[in-house]
Amino acid sequence: MSSCPACLTDAIEEFLSYQQGVRCLSANTLAGYSNDLGKLTTLLDGQRPVDSVTKEDLRYCMGELTMKGSAASSVNRFLAAVRSLFAYCRRFGYIEINPALEIHTVKQPKQLPKFMTPSEVQELCAAPEKTSLLWEARDKALFQMFYSSGCRVAEMAGLTLEDFSQDLSSAMVRGKGGKDRRVFFTPTASSALKEYLSQRQQKLLCSGMDTAKEPVRSLFLNNQGRALTTRGIRYILSRYSGVEGTNNPVSPHAFRHTFATALLSNGADVRMVQEMLGHSSISTTQRYTHITTAQLVKTYNQAHPHGSLEGQVPSMAGEDGNAGDC
């Protein structure tokens, strides 16, 4: 075997450096790895040799996390991080056998992704104008662009002015794994964006920032004229979907689920939707067919004369609709 890191903690540090420097993983992904592998060193002795960790040790860790109330999805994410760590160690000859390979994931409750109805989307997109909670033009553009493009929150936060087509009808975004794709915006979203861009320029002028020396590349800004972060976007949406707004709390990802559901419900080809969402696997996109099927069943049971009686068509919620990584 190759020269092994002195201990488990050293192996984790080397693994994280490799993921950042060689694989160029995002800051969010690295933070997730660091958090989960930190649990490993908390539950086991971080100073023990990495090649001394057994599958029994890992089963103990998963059992402890479960006993402490961690959700099945969190335990499985922990296992995925551990598997990646030991696969790295096996690849570079630090261990002979990956102890995580024989560990099975915890069974998760099957859930369909949460999405909004057309009326709920309309109400939320109108909330900035009706409530005047924060920055109306920015927030209206933000919501319209989320709904018409299916972008992830990190993709939206990462948009710059240079990413857009001249007519603002599309933009290039960088998705998971550093993959670029083009997303599209409806005329309504493009119009809202134009209105925001006018105010954006005024905001920068009023902030006193020297944009010639320090240009602000980010599309969406906060009230101080700085780049809006993913955390800031979540805060904005929480205000408008909370008690001050629609009183129907949703996350930015609900826009993405709604986008996919709307396309499939209206006959879009699943492979085209896969491309628009930037999914590497079509099985991830196919989860949304369960949503549309469930909606058909619900509509049937509500509309058919005997739908409310015994023997109605069963719900599809029990199908494999696990949200997974989308």
Which residues does the annotation mark as catalytic?
A: 152, 176, 253, 256, 279, 288
**Tokens found for residue 228:** 């809006």
**What is the spatial distance between Cα 199 and Cα 205, in angstroms, rounded to a whole number?**
10
* Helix segments in the chain, DSSP class H: 8-21, 27-43, 55-67, 72-91, 118-131, 136-149, 153-157, 187-207, 230-241, 252-265, 270-277, 282-285, 287-303
Check if the beta carbon of residue 134 is closer than 8 Å to that of residue 128. yes
Cα four-point dihedral sign 267, 271, 275, 278? positive
Distance of alpha carbon 283 from the chain centroid? 17
Which DSSP category does 117 fall into?
Answer: -
Distance from C-alpha of 69 to C-alpha of 74, rounded to nearest angstrom: 10
Q: CB neighbours of 172 closer than 8 A, spacing ≥ 6?
A: 163, 180, 181, 182, 183
Q: SS3 sequence, 305-322?
A: CCCCCCCCCCCCCCCCCC
Query: What are 110's two structure tokens?
Result: 């099957």
Indicate the burial class of 191 (C-beta count within 10 angstroms; 0-12, 13-18, 19 or more). middle
CA distances from 195 to 95, 153, 191, 202, 229 (A): 58, 21, 6, 12, 21
